[in-house]
Every structure is written in structure tokens, then in C-alpha cells.
Structure 1
Amino acid sequence: MEQKLTLQQKLLQKLSPQQIQVIKLLEIPTMQLEQRIKKELEENPVLELESDSPVMDDDPSDFSDSDENRDVDNEEFSMEDYYEDEEIPTYKLNTNNFSKDDKYEDVPFSVGTSFNEFLSEQLSLSELNEKEQQLAEYVLGNIDDDGYLRRDLMSISDDLAFNMNLDVPEEELEKILKVIQDFDPPGVGARDLRESLILQLDRKEGPDYKLAKTIVKDFFPEFTKKHYDKIRSKLEISEEELKDGINQVLKLNPKPGSSYSNPLNKSNQHIVPDFILEIVDGELSLSLNQRNVPELKVNDAYQEMLKTMSENQKAKKNDKEALLFVKQKLDSAKWFIDAIHQRQTTLLLTMSEIISFQKEFFQEGDEAKLRPMILKDIAERTNLDISTISRVSNSKYIQTHFGIYPLKYFFSEGMQKDDGEEVSTREIKKILKECIENEDKHKPLTDEKLASILKEKSYNIARRTVAKYREQLDIPVARLRKEL
């Protein structure tokens, strides 16, 4: 087989470790940035807080060879290969994340009893024997945060056979589940919404609750689809009686476990704005929220140590690994500080252009003043890539004098009215929402009717587009908005 040498030219785009670090820091919001900096401080001894004093117990000269006249061959480690002789300005080794007047404060948090722990406490007070307690604990482990058991008992029985070598029939697990369903909160351990509602109604008394239970138990499909006429005719009751019964159902909790806050649940998270926008002397003033982000610097003692070693020109082979480690940590610290600085610059540049683009909105806070704006618009104004703008706008918030908004709120597509004026789709959604809020709930507006109303207001939108906007607003169809 003949062997040949060929030349091949390729054009590849690769990201350096520094670029990757900047991208990752750009994505995270302020609250996570604080944790990321703390992690870097723990992993890198060269990096420290500006308020900390450098402490070196060991003399840097201990790392150098005391014998100035020893022979060194060409293979020995040279400090010139790992240390740049030029002086590095101090400002390049520091990053200023907050004002000197600001105080550094840790964000407090509290931990309470979890939903699963609450159920386990009730299980310990039950009259089940040891084996039943063990089975009940396994079943509890399959109950989700909403309070539902969304795995069928046959699958749990198979798991017990494989994982715990227990042959437990489905009927036995059903008895265990009945015990769990008597726990608080009412409705826990249900396998679907219908069962959860029935469990909650079982603990209530009164004629209205009896009717409500009949509706849920025997007419659940009709109830969910709001076919009230069918229910009323089959039960032979008045519209007022049906309304009272349905009102009792609507008062029940569809997610029994939701009363126990989950710290990982996004709805319970405390929002910390990444930007603060204020009006100073009639002008908009933008700043980054860096109150709890510590100020960083490179430890001067490690810089001195490398400088001292560089003066010896050569180092022992045994010191090579230690010296490489220190140089690597120094570089990593400089890269991290530089990445923080680049993050600040990019965030401020992007947010400044968003404010400039939507200046009328930020001055007055009127949603009608929002102009159509997409990622490409800001990318062109900042000369940054669209992916960078997307990372900046993701999971970031700005605090204004009229409220806190996610950055994604300001991005929307546009369309032209009949008079040629370009408007944001957000304005159209606002009008659509107002029409639905003010509609007659006995005869809700259909998508076709909503399209006609918008057309009368010079918004020429098709019915399917109205349906799309309605779904984006999490508003159900007209039939499901109907009330008695």
C-alpha cells in the first residue's frame, strides 16, 4: 500500500478557556454570581477579597535553592519559561464590584420542615406494624411535591420486588395508600385530580358539599369541559343549586402539597435585580447591583513569591510541580477577575442600549410606549453577537421606579396597524387581555369575535394569531371561561 503525505487546510473556530469562563459568568444572575465567586475563592488560594490582608507563613525564599554555585544542566526548570518579567499594574489585578460606602452582607435564608418530612411525622404516629411502616415509607417516597402519587401501584410493587426483595401484592399497597390518604393535608396521596377532590370533599359536611361530591364523582368530564347544562338536566337541579355546588368544588385545593413551600420552587424564589435604574435630575441613571458581590484581588504574597524565584533564574527539578501550580493559580485568578470585569462591561453596554431603544417606556412606565424590539436590534447597536444578547437577557431583572421587570419583557415582535404605525405585539396582547377581562362570563368572547374587535381598533390580525396570543397569555378558550 502506497503511503502519501498531503496538506489539508481547515478553518476552525475554537473558544479559549478565558472566553468560556466569560460566557458562563455572563449567563448567571447576580444571586448566583455571589455563590460562583465564593466557590472560586475556596478553590483558588491566590484569589482573595480586597479587604483581606495577604498572609504568608513561609518565606518565599524557602522555595529557591540556597546553593548559588550548584551546576544546573540544560534540562532543569527555568523560571523565565513560567513568569513574565514585566511589572503588572495593580489595576489589572483588581475588580471593583461595589461602592466603598456599601456594606457586604450575606443573604439570610431559612429552612423549615419539608412536605415529605411532614408526612413521615404523621406516619410515625400511625398504628401500622413494622412491615407496613416500611411499605408506607416507600410509597411516601413516590409522592411528589404537589401531593400526588403519579406512579401506579403495580410499578411500585415491581420496585419493591427488585430493590428490596419484597413480594407485595397490589391489594396490600392499596390498603397502605388508604392510610396515607387520611393524612393531612386533605387530598394527599391521590392518583389524579378527581380523586384528590373527592378525598377533600369526604372530610366536609353539608348539602352543598354532597352535591359537589356528586358532580366530581359522577360528572367530572362534564365539569372539566364546563358542560353545565348537561349536569343540571341529569341531576334535575336549578341553576342556582348547580352554581353553589360548583363553587364548593372551586374552593378546594388542586395541589394539596403546594401549601408547603419548596425552596427549590421558582415561584418561592426571592428576585434580586441585576440592574438598578433611577431618575437623577430628570435623567435615567443605570447601575449594576453589586451590593453582595465581593471585591476581588490577587494575593500580593504569591506575586512576590514568583518574583523572588524568578530572580534566582533557575529552580530545582523538585520544585517544578509546585511552581507550575502557583503559576496556574495566578493565571486562573487573573482570568477570573478579567472575566468579572468583562461581564460588568457587557451587561452595562447591553442594558444601556435596551434603555436607549425603549427610552419612552423607562421614563413613563407606560406599556403602550414599548417599541417592537428583537435580539438582533440590540446586537446591531452593541456590535455583539445575538447569542451574547440572549445570554445577557436570560434570567436577569432590572429594578425601575415603577417595578421590577425581567429583561425578556422588553423584547417583542412588531406589526403594522392599518394606518402604517408599527406597534409591539405586547400592546396587542394587553388589549386582548383587557377584552377578555371585561367580557360577559356567561357568553365569553370567541377567538373569531376577539379578532373582529381588534380589527375595529385597526389591528388586522387573523383568528389563529389571536389564538396564539391567547395561549401565550395562559388564557383558556371561550368555552372553558364560561361561568354560571
Structure 2
Amino acid sequence: MKLSQGLNLGQTLTMTPALQQAIRMLQLSTLDLKTEIQDALESNVMLEADEGHEEIDAREAAAQSSERTNSSDAEIPENLPVDADWNDIYAGSSAPAAPAASSTDDEDYWAFRQANLTSTPDLHAHLVWQADMHSFSPGERAAAEVIIDAIDANGLLLDWDEIAPRIAADLELTPAHVEAVLTVVQDFDPPGVAARSLAECLDIQLTGIDSDTPGHALARRLIREESLACLAEPKRDAVAARLGVELEALDTAIALIQTLQPHPGDAFAEHEADYVVPEVFVTRTSEGWHVALNPDIAPRLRINAQYLALIKRADKSADQTTLKSHLQEARFFLNSLKSRNDTLLEVAQCIVEAQRGFLEYGEEAMKPLVLRDVAEELEIHESTVSRATANKYMQTSRGVFELKYFFSSHVSTTDGGSASATAIQAMIKRMVAGETARKPLSDSKLAELLLDNGIQVARRTVAKYREALSIPPSHERRQKTG
């Protein structure tokens, strides 16, 4: 073997501490950000809340400081144009150390917080961890990640007809290969996750139950061959007669089905109450829609002028070293906060521009929008858009919505255009609300009415959208009207 030396040129993005902090802050919710800011104020003497005095900008503070090291010159790239998984850098946040209580109220509040804190990971993280443990090929792993991202909070996968072809096309996989990856994900915990319908969710859970369990075979038959509406029918003897089984056997099967979980994701729901504070305000002005950040989401911060004046050029004492270290950390923090706010505002402005129809006319005017559209418009990475929209809310004249609400897949229209899945759901909801009580609209009829409006969707797609809206099938709606 011959050894040789060579010189290769290449470009890499250095993940500086400042950039790491900026990306982490971008994905924080408003309440988490306030906690982060409070922790920074308590731990860094160079930071203070601006209470109306003359503000000292981070760059001005840097100019006044007498010494700057190479590390303190690290700048944060505009709009955070990186794609990185910070789970490997930042471990899951643990419960903070108990503070020294200054009063009985503080002690009671601390005890309450500890009693309600949970360490349960969210459903997405739980599924990603299982995918990491599986021996997927690179293409399969990418497909599994897309599938996991598409699973809703209930643990269901309701847009499979639109998602599957996109996965196959983007990752150059056959439809059968994509289905095989889905089957693997459906084997993950919790049982029933990634099901494409309620019936499939229950059927997957039955697969994991011993087939010798009383009522197992009939329960599977009910789920696969019968409408789940039979579970709610008051005259079960008629159902038993139609199926050709004993009433006792039917009751046993139904009791088994009722032990199953229709929403596998519920076990991973937050146990603490989530208080929504909108990060973005959208208002109508004479010039159009105006987008602004909520001024109350975080206090204004500045460099403490008195401590800044104490920094001396040549002094190498321990106190001077501490002050210089705090100054550098303060600069990083202020720049990260500014970068977060700038990125959030730009993403919100792009969303409002794309969804002006929704703001003016409602859900039926919602346009198809995916992360890639915003990323390309702002020339940033899709992961940056995802972080900027996670757990962030926008207050509009139509209510308060999570930023992710404005993103939805598209369905092709007969004129070659596209319609948002959210808009289609709104149309279905309107059609059902206006139907005749004695003759409710079936899924096939809803599909025909949508086609009359230029939107071509399959009956099974209409059924999935209807289920997502918690609208019962037509025969159940007819029964309820008496």
C-alpha cells in the first residue's frame, strides 16, 4: 500500500456557541423564552432589563470594551441558514434546582410545580427514538422521518393519500417500499400509532392482543367488515342477528373493542396546562395587513453600563476575567434574541402574505402552503422555518392560531390549480351544516359537490377529512335527527 499526502479545499459551517444558542432560542415558546431570559438576568451581571434609560446596544458595548478576543467576534449568520439536530448537543431539560424559598407561598408554589412536572417525551421524540433504533437504510430512514412528522397529536396519519406519493417521488422509492416503511412505523409504541383511520388504529391494537382472547375474532370482524357505528347501536340484538352470532358473543367483542385506545397519542399529551401567548399580532390597516411582534413577549435587555465601565484593557485579575466572560456571553445572548425575533417576524410576514385570503374570507380561502415555500421565499432552510413556527401563535381578527395551522398539503383542482386541505375541510363542514336533516350527505355525494366546485378528491379522502372534523357518517347523522 502506497501512502501519500494531499491537500483538499472545502467549506464547512462551524457551529459556534453563539449559533447553537440562537437556534435553541428560536424554537422556544414565549413562556420558555421568558424563563430563559430570567435565568440569563440572574446569572449574568452584564445583563439588565431596560427600564427606559438610555439603551446601550450590544455592538456599542463591544466598541467600548477594551479587549476583544477572536471568540467574542463570532457572528450569527442571518436567518440561521443551517440544518442541525440539536438533540445531540443539548440534552433534554431537567427540572431546575429548588430555589431557596423566601416565603411559604414560594415553597407552596415550588411543591406544586414539582408535583406537576413530568419527564414524558412528546410523541414525535418517542417515535424518532424508535426509528433511530431500527435498522433502516438511509432512504427508509428518511421516509420514516417524513411519516413521523405527518402524524398528528392523536397519533393518527390522516393524509396518507397525499403523503405517500410525495415520499415516493422525493426519495425515489416504490409505492410498495413506502408502504413497507409505514408498516414498520405502525409497529412502534404506542400501539395503533400511524394508523390511517380509526378502524385501522383499532385493528393494529387487536393484532398485538392474544388471538385466544374472548371476542377477539368477532372484534376484528366488526372492525374490518362492519361500520364502527354498530358499537353505539342501542338494539344490539338486531346487530347480532345480522351477523349471525349470539348476543353474548357480540357484547364480549364490543367490550374488547372498548378497551382499545382510539387516540394513541393521548398518553404523550402535556399534563400541565399550556397558556397561549401570541408572539405575533396581525391587524388590518388602510395599507393592508400589518404584522408585528408582541412587545410583551420579552423584556428589553441591555448591557449594564456600570459594569462595562469597570472592564480594563490590561487587567488580568480574576474579577476582570469574569466580567469579560460575562460580557461575551451577554453579547451572544442579545444577538441570539435579536436573531430569533427577526426570523420569527420574517416567517410570520411570509405566512400572512400567502394567507391573505384566509384573513379576509375565512378557512375556505386558505391556500396550500408547506415549509419549503416559506424557506425558498426567505432563502433559509426548512428546519429553520419549522423551529420558528413550533409552539408559536399568531393573533388575528379571526382568532389566535398556531403558526403551523397555516401550513397544509395541496389537492389538485380540475383547472390545473391546487386547493388547501384546510380549505377543503372547511367546505365539507359547511356542506354538512347545510344538509337536509332527513337526507344527510354521504361521502360520495360530498365528493361530487366538491367536484362541482372544481376540486377532485376521492371518496376515501373525503371520509378522512370528515373524520378529522369529528363529523359522523351520514347514517349516524340521520339517526341523530330522529
TM-score by structure 1 length? 0.52
Does the 8 A contact of 1:226 with 1:482 survive in 2? Answer: no
1:147-226 to structure 2, matched below 5 A, reads: 225-226=228-229
Q: Aligned equivalents of 2:71 and 2:413: distance in 1?
A: 63
Paired letter, 2:335 = D
Cα RMSD, aligned residues only: 4.7
* Structure 2: distance between partners of 1:265 and 1:325: 40
How far apart, CA to CA, are the structure 1 residues paired with 2:467 and 2:229?
A: 19
The unaligned stretches of length 5 or more in structure 2 are 55-65, 74-107, 116-217, 242-259, 262-268
The answer to whether the 8 A contact 2:442-2:473 is kept is: yes
Going from structure 1 to structure 2, the CA distance change for 1:360 and 1:235 (only over 3 Å counts) comes to closer
Query: Are the counterparts in 2 of residues 82 and 327 from structure 1 also a CA contact under 8 Å?
Result: no
Decide whether aligned partners of structure 1 residues 113 and 436 sit closer, same or farther in structure 2, where only a CA change above 3 A counts.
Answer: farther
Aligned partner (choices 275, 279, 292) of residue 287 of structure 1? 292
* Helix, strand or coil at the partner of 2:346: helix
Q: CA deviation at 1:419?
A: 3.5
For the residues of structure 2 that align with 1:337 and 1:24, how far apart are their CA atoms? 14
Matching residue within 292, 300, 304 for 1:299: 304
In the alignment, residue 38 of structure 2 is paired with which amino acid?
K
Match of 2:344 among 344, 347, 371: 347
Q: Kindly provide the amino acid, as one letter, of the partner of residue 265 in structure 1.
A: H
Q: How much has 1:360 moved relative to structure 2?
A: 3.4
- Could you tell me how far apart the structure 2 residues matched to 1:220 and 1:2 are? 69
**Alignment match, 2:364:** 368
Spell out, residue by residue over 1:331-360, the C-alpha distance to the aligned partner (whole angstroms, 9 max, x if none): 110111111111121122221222222223
Give the structure 1 partner of residue 413 of structure 2.
417
Whether contact under 8 Å (1:29, 1:395) holds in the other structure is yes
Judged with a 3 Å threshold, the aligned counterparts in structure 2 of structure 1 residues 230 and 366 are, in CA distance, closer, same or farther, namely closer
Q: 2:450 is matched by which residue type in structure 1?
A: L
Question: What one-letter code is carried by the residue in structure 2 that aligns with 1:418?
Answer: T
Residues 276, 288 of structure 1: 8 Å contact kept = yes
Alpha-carbon separation, structure 2, partners of 1:475 and 1:329: 57
Q: Which residue of 2 aligns with 1:392?
A: 388
1:270 aligns with 2:275: yes
Partner of 1:15: 15
Match of 1:331?
328
Take 1:16 and 1:474, find their aligned partners in 2: how far apart are those partners?
47
- When residues 360 and 443 of structure 1 are mapped into structure 2, their CA distance, relative to the original with a 3 A threshold, is closer
What is the count of residue pairs matched by the alignment? 307
Counterpart position of 2:154 = none
Distance 1:81 1:413 in 2: 49
Question: How far apart in 2 are the matches of 1:50 and 1:113?
Answer: 32
Q: Which letter does structure 2 place at the counterpart of 1:405?
A: F
The answer to whether the 8 Å contact 2:281/2:395 transfers is yes
Q: Is contact 2:368–2:408 with CA below 8 Å preserved after alignment?
A: yes
Residue 428 of structure 1, aligned match among 424, 428, 431: 424
Q: Does 1:455 align with 2:455?
A: no
Distance 1:280 1:80, change over 3 A: closer
Q: 1:235 to 1:381 in 2, by over 3 A?
A: closer
Give the deviation of 1:4 after TM superposition.
Answer: 6.2
Shift of 1:403: 1.3
Give the unaligned 5+ runs of structure 1.
55-78, 87-109, 118-218, 237-253, 256-262
- Residues 1:226 and 1:366: Cα distance change in structure 2 (over 3 Å): closer
Q: Is the 8 A contact 1:417 1:458 kept in 2?
A: yes
Distance 1:370 1:81, change over 3 A: closer
The amino acid of 1:277's aligned partner reads: V
| Deviations, residues 85-142 of structure 1 (Å, cap 9, x unaligned) | 99xxxxxxxxxxxxxxxxxxxxxxx97998xx9xxxxxxxxxxxxxxxxxxxxxxxxx
* C-alpha distance 482-347 of structure 1, shift in aligned 2 (>3 A): same
Q: Describe the SS at the equivalent of 1:279.
A: strand
Give the structure 2 partner of residue 59 of structure 1.
none
Rounded Cα–Cα distance in structure 1 between residues aligned with 2:419 and 2:4: 64
| In 1, Cα distance between equivalents of 2:326 and 2:414 | 63
Instruction: State the distance in 2 between where 1:463 and 1:85 align.
Output: 60
Amino acid across the alignment from 1:469: Y
- Amino acid corresponding to residue 372 of structure 2 in structure 1: K
Alpha-carbon distance between aligned partners in 2 of 1:463 and 1:369, rounded to the nearest angstrom: 22
Contact residue 437 and residue 478 of structure 2 kept, 8 A: yes
- Aligned partners of 1:283 and 1:338: how far apart in 2? 31
Larger radius of gyration: 1
Residues 386-411 of structure 1 deviation map (CA, whole Å, 9 limit, x = unaligned): 22222222211111122111112222
For residues 17-36 of structure 1, what are the structure 2 equivalents within 5 Å? 17-36=17-36
Alpha-carbon distance change, 441 to 40 in structure 1, aligned in 2, over 3 angstroms: farther
2:99 is aligned to: none
Give, in whole Å, the separation in 2 of the partners of 1:384 and 1:85. Answer: 25
1:40 aligns with 2:9: no
Residue pair 2:364, 2:424 contacting (<8 A) in 1 also: no
Distance 2:278 2:72 in 1: 42
SS at match of 1:226: helix
SS of equivalent residue, structure 2 residue 229:
coil
| Superposed counterparts of 1:229-240, under 5 Å | 231-233=236-238
Per-residue CA deviations over 1:217-263 (Å, capped at 9, x if unaligned) read xx999899433376144899xxxxxxxxxxxxxxxxx99xxxxxxx9
Q: How big is the shift at 1:30? A: 2.0
> Cα gap change, 1:473/1:340 in structure 2, threshold over 3 Å: closer, same or farther?
same
Matched-pair contact (CA < 8 Å) for 1:448–1:463: yes
Q: What is residue 51 of structure 1 aligned with on the other side?
A: 51
* 1:132-190 C-alpha deviation (Å, 9 max, x unpaired): xxxxxxxxxxxxxxxxxxxxxxxxxxxxxxxxxxxxxxxxxxxxxxxxxxxxxxxxxxx
CA contact (8 A) 2:279 2:297 kept: no
